[in-house]
Amino acid sequence: MVQKRTAWATVALMGITLGVAAVPADAAPARTTQATTACPTGWGSQAETRSAATTESVTNVRTGRHACFDRMVVDVPGAGSGDLGYSVRYVSRLYQDGSGDHIAVGGGAVLEVRVTAPAYDTDTGKPTYPVRAGQRLKGVDLTGYRTFRDGRFVGSFEGDTQIGLGVRARLPFRVWVADNRIVVDVAHNWTGAR
């Protein structure tokens, strides 16, 4: 019994040795493929605006993390893409429309996001995004985000809604519109590297 095991072990060891010896010493190592994401470049940090307006109301603000950027979405159900306007720009200090009150927003830089849609029902005046000025955005937790640091509701005045978005530094961003929403993407860096 012991001789049979020894014989099988010897045969197995010889097979392994011959297999290794058959590969030339200067052979290139096996290549592995890794999926990579190419981050978009060409975004800037200058103000972006779009003229349009709707009487449909802001009902939600949400955020998400992506490989190359952090995203904020302002939901305006019922508004077509042609009806949604905005102004997004970096500001040194953020002031509430109407009152002129300063709204503190954390981060190395602050983006003022204005959406040309009210955060209240235009017929009744009832809030459709019930958050007070200066409070954190409802349901938004920015823990673990690479770029976003703070999100504050600034207010809604004469059909415009203001949001303060605190980011790590003055980084490139883009703004785009789809039916029912305005999207603000802020890159993790200027180089497009992940």
Domains of the chain: which residue ranges?
Answer: 48-187
Question: What pLDDT shows up at residue 154?
Answer: 97
Q: Hey, what amino acid is at 154?
A: V
User: Which stretches of the chain drop beneath a pLDDT of 70?
Assistant: 1-37
Question: What pLDDT shows up at residue 14?
Answer: 46
Interatomic CA distance for residues 11 and 5, integer angstroms: 10
The beta-carbon contacts of 60-63 under 8 Å, at least 24 apart in sequence, are: 60/129, 60/138, 60/139, 61/129, 61/137, 61/138, 61/139, 61/140, 61/151, 61/153, 61/163, 62/139, 62/140, 63/137, 63/140, 63/142, 63/145, 63/148, 63/151
Question: What pLDDT shows up at residue 3?
Answer: 54
**Is the Cα torsion angle 37, 176, 117, 181 positive or negative in sign?**
negative
Question: What pLDDT shows up at residue 146?
Answer: 96
- 158-175 as b/e, with b when 16 or more CB fall inside 10 Å? ebbbbbbbbbbeebbbbb
Identify the architecture of domain 48-187 in CATH: Sandwich (2.60)
